[in-house]
Amino acid sequence: MLTVENFGKSFTTHHLNQTRKAVSGISFNVEKGEFLGIVGKSGSGKSTVLKSIYGTYKPNEGQILYDSERFGTVNLHEIPDHDLIRLRKTEIGYVSQFLKVMPRTTSFELVVLSLLEMGVDRVTAEVTAEETLRHFDLPEALWHNYPNTFSGGEKLRLNIACAVVKAPRLLLLDEPTASLDQASKLKVRESISKLKDSGTTLIGIFHDLEFMEGLCDKVYDMSARAVKETV
């Protein structure tokens, strides 16, 4: 499903005349329906790897091959921008700890919009959005509020809801549970588990290793530059 080959990324800051290598020599592959966890200390480049798969960062070395439904096998960094945008709308999801949304759009509408951009009709989208917000325990009183009035945990749950509702083929999770309480974490875990059962391929970074236990099929260790299978 996804093969990362000898991937490397460095950042050049022109005004400092400086180039900093963030990661190099990363190789792994993820089969369809598998969950790969990425572990490593802060600054080891975990997020850089995820953002490069999603196309937010431009890699300098190696390639990232993805078996897409629409275009067949593509190198995510060589396909035209427009095709990558299409894959993001229909196949590849990304969740981070930060919620960036249109101003003055209600939480309910945000979940609906995630579905509309996939081509789902509005009536179905609204029904699904209700179910999803309910699943993530977002109080009904907040459905028609703007997310900038939400607590950190509520924002995160909404963020995850917007990504999960699309049931993407490949979902990238960049520490989405970082500041959630135990109950919310369990909800997220339940959804991820359900997605996995339905065949979604997942790659995730989680601060808390317990969360990953029993959920990941294998773990990529940034310091060892190697994958180990888990039970």
Partner 1 sequence: MSTNDIVMSIRDVSKRFGEGCEACREDTSILNGNICPDCGTVHAVRDISFDLHEGEILGIVGESGSGKSTLMKMMYFDQENTSGDYYLRSYENGAENVFDVSSQKKREIRNEQLGMVYQNPLHGLKINFSSMTNIAEKLIAGGSRNVGEMTARGDMFLEKVNIPLSRKFEAPKNFSGGMQQRVQIAKALSNYPPILLLDEVTTGLDLSVQADVLELIKEIQREMGVSMIVVSHDLAIIRMLCDRTMVLLNGEVIESGITDQILEDPQHEYTQQLVYSIL
**What is the closest distance, in whole angstroms, from the C-beta atom of residue 14 to partner 1 in the complex?**
4
Q: Which is closer to partner 1, CB of 55 or CB of 176?
A: 55
147 lines the binding site for partner 1 (CB under 8 A): no
With contacts defined by CB under 8 A, name the span among 56-64, 125-133, 176-184, 210-218 that binds partner 1: 56-64
Kindly state whether residue 145 participates in binding partner 1, applying the rule CB under 8 A: no
CA distance 168 to 172: 10
Strands 2-13 and 18-30, bridge-based pairing: antiparallel
Q: Does 124 bind partner 1 (CB under 8 A)?
A: no
Residue 5's DSSP bridge partners are: 63
Rule CB under 8 A: say whether 221 interacts with partner 1: no
Do residues 189 and 216 make contact, with C-beta atoms less than 8 angstroms apart?
A: no
What 3-state DSSP class applies to 62?
strand
Q: Which of 81, 121, 197, 210 binds partner 1 (CB under 8 A)?
A: 81
Size of the site for partner 1 (CB under 8 A): 26
Check binding of 11 to partner 1 (CB under 8 A).
yes
Residue choice 113, 118, 120, 167 for contact with partner 1 (CB under 8 A): 113
Selected binder of partner 1 within 13, 18, 182, 198 (CB under 8 A)? 13
Site stretch for partner 1 (CB under 8 A), options 83-91, 158-166, 178-186, 220-228: 83-91
Query: Residue 61 interacts with partner 1 (CB under 8 A)?
Result: no
Alpha helices in the chain (DSSP H): 46-54, 81-90, 107-116, 122-135, 140-143, 152-164, 182-197, 209-212
Question: Does residue 38 contact residue 223 with C-beta atoms inside 8 Å?
Answer: no
With contacts defined by CB under 8 A, name the span among 33-41, 79-87, 147-155, 206-214 that binds partner 1.
79-87
Q: Cα dist. 19→9, 11, 16, 43, 63 in Å?
A: 10, 6, 9, 16, 20
Q: In the 8-state DSSP scheme, what is residue 205?
A: E
Should residue 10 be labelled a site residue for partner 1 when binding is judged by CB under 8 A?
Answer: no
Rounded Cα distance, 114 and 140, in Å: 19
Residues lying near partner 1 in the complex (CB under 8 A): 11-15, 51, 55-58, 71, 79-86, 100, 102-105, 113, 116
